[in-house]
């Protein structure tokens, strides 16, 4: 009886996650990414944390980086330019523009991301892939490397 009960609970949880997952599309990914870009470009750095997975924020931002939000967001936006020969961690105040170039929302392959082109005020351009995931609560949020 206990196994049946646990099985039913697991099935209900999977159904809830599946319902949330079905609502996400490439257009949703683009909308969330554009909202993140707008928040960042308006200088609302603390508000950008709302776009990240809470577990990622707790581990990387709160614990590892000890609450250094600017460093957290800058490292999230790091990438390479000149065909991958040079790495860049941008100074956020020097970002001139950001534009979504491509999105992917393939839930079966667990691939959810936005490729964003970043232009710095000194002319350097690069593209960074912003990975996303569906959180335990069913929300779509950004996720990055820890450490």
Specify the long-range contacts of residues 65-74, CB closer than 8 Å, at least 24 apart.
69/45, 70/45, 73/40, 73/45, 73/48
This prediction's pTM: 0.83
pLDDT of residue 18: 47
Is 57 within the bounds of a domain? Answer: yes
Q: What are phi and psi of 17, to 5 degrees?
A: -60, -40
Q: Which residue has the higher pLDDT, 7 or 84?
A: 84
Is 23 within the bounds of a domain? Answer: yes
Domain count of the fold of the chain: 1
For residue 110, the enclosing domain spans 2-142
Is 28 within the bounds of a domain? Answer: yes
Q: For residue 13, is pLDDT > 50?
A: no
Q: Dihedral through CA 56, CA 60, CA 47, CA 73, nearest 10? A: -120
Is 16 within the bounds of a domain? Answer: yes
Closest C-alpha to 98, from 106, 90, 109: 90
Model confidence over 80-122: pLDDT tens digits?
887 767 889 999 999 999 999 999 999 999 999 999 999 999 9
Model confidence over 32-53: pLDDT tens digits?
999 999 999 999 999 999 999 9
Is 147 within the bounds of a domain? Answer: no
pLDDT of residue 7: 39
Q: For residue 24, is pLDDT > 60?
A: yes
Is 75 within the bounds of a domain? Answer: yes
Is 93 within the bounds of a domain? Answer: yes
Task: Fill in the DSSP letter of residue 110.
Answer: T
pLDDT of residue 12: 42
pLDDT of residue 4: 37
Is 9 within the bounds of a domain? Answer: yes
């Amino acid at each position: 009886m206990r196994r049946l009960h646990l099985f039913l609970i697991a099935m209900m949880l999977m159904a809830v996650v599946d319902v949330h997952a079905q609502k996400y599309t490439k257009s949703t990914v683009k909308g969330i990414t554009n909202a993140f870009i707008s928040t960042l470009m308006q200088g609302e750095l603390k508000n950008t944390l709302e776009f990240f997975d809470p577990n990622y924020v707790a581990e990387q931002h709160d614990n590892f980086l000890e609450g250094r939000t600017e460093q957290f967001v800058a490292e999230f936006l790091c990438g390479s330019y000149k065909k991958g020969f040079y790495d860049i961690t941008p100074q956020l105040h020097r970002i001139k523009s950001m534009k979504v170039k491509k999105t992917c929302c393939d839930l079966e392959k667990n691939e959810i991301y936005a490729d964003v082109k970043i232009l710095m005020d000194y002319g350097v351009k690069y593209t960074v892939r912003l990975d996303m995931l569906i959180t335990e609560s069913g929300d779509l949020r950004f996720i990055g490397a820890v450490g």
